[in-house]
Copies of this chain bind each other. A is one copy, B any other.
Amino acid sequence: MSSSDARLSHLMAVLQGRRFRLTPQRLAILRLVARSDGHPSIEEIYEHLREDFPTMSIATVYKTVTLLKELGEVLELSFPEEGVKRYDGAKPYPHPHLICVRCRKILDPDLGSLTPLVETAARRTGFRILSHRLDLYGLCPECQAREQGGEDAPPAHGTETDGNRLPIRLSGDCAPPHAPGDGAEPTPWRRP
């Protein structure tokens, strides 16, 4: 039994346990969300599902995913750079993400625990930390190779709105803006 199969069973059990109806549309959405390859967006889920459900409304996808989010069974990740929200139904708890700014692939890197960082923040500020989000933006190995070689070759991953060429800057800690889109200049940052 694969991990996503177990996850699917769990999601089904949660819905049925709460007396929510398990419609064919919902089941299909659960299947996609339980796998969550590449952290799908509403639009992507919708496009996949209309193959099997040509009459499905995108509102249904919104409503089902929102329901899962409210049940704590899906993690919502907003990506304002591309103007969509993406969802992780395989790991519904906060965890770091690694995003390639060129081909837009999204990974769940296995970093160390963020607990020490969180505890430092709590100690120094008096906050009680409840949640967090860490996103690392950069170039995946494939896109790095493509970068130095021919400047051509289209991106690997699926839907790309338009030209997402990046500004070619490297940095360790103080780096390009959060939305490394098509900014005009090299953005010469300075630390205080």
Contact = CB atoms under 8 A, between A and B. Distances in A.
B107 A125 contact: yes
Contacts of A19: none
B132 A191 contact: no
B178 A131 contact: yes
Contacts of A154: none
Interface stretch (A25-33, A35-43, A133-141): A133-141
A17 B141 CA distance: 37
Given A117-B117, A131-B178, 9 more contacts: A3-B192, A101-B130, A111-B117, A127-B139, A129-B171, A129-B172, A130-B137, A132-B137, A133-B134
Interface stretch (A48-56, A57-65, A92-100): A92-100
B76 A85 contact: no
24 contacts: A3-B192, A69-B183, A70-B185, A71-B184, A72-B183, A72-B185, A72-B188, A75-B177, A76-B179, A92-B177, A93-B189, A112-B117, A114-B173, A115-B173, A122-B138, A127-B140, A129-B137, A129-B171, A130-B138, A130-B139, A130-B169, A130-B180, A132-B175, A133-B137
Q: How many copies does the complex hold?
A: 2
A138 B130 CA distance: 5
Interface residues of A, number: 75
Contacts of A180: 130-131
Contact of A129 (B71, B77, B129, B175): B175
A162 interface: no
A75 B112 contact: no
Contacts of A191: 93
